[in-house]
Amino acid sequence: MKKYSVILMVLTIMSVMSCENSKKSEAAADKAAAESTVAAEPKKAKKVVVARVTVKEGQEAAFISVASVLVEATRKEPGCLFYTLYQSPLDSKSFIFYEEYKDEAAFESHGSSDHFKVFAGAIGDIVDGDLIVDQF
3-state secondary structure of 98: strand
Q: Are 14 and 6 in contact (CB under 8 A)?
A: no
pTM listed for this prediction: 0.68
Tell me the average pLDDT across 37-42. Answer: 58
Strand bridging mode 47-54 / 94-101: antiparallel
Q: Are 70 and 116 in contact (CB under 8 A)?
A: yes
Spatial separation of the C-alpha atoms in residues 130 and 53, rounded to whole Å: 7
Q: What confidence category does residue 46 fall into, taking pLDDT thresholds of 50, 70 and 90?
A: very high
Per-residue pLDDT of 72-86, as tens digits, reads: 999 999 999 999 999
Strand bridging mode 94-101 / 80-87: antiparallel
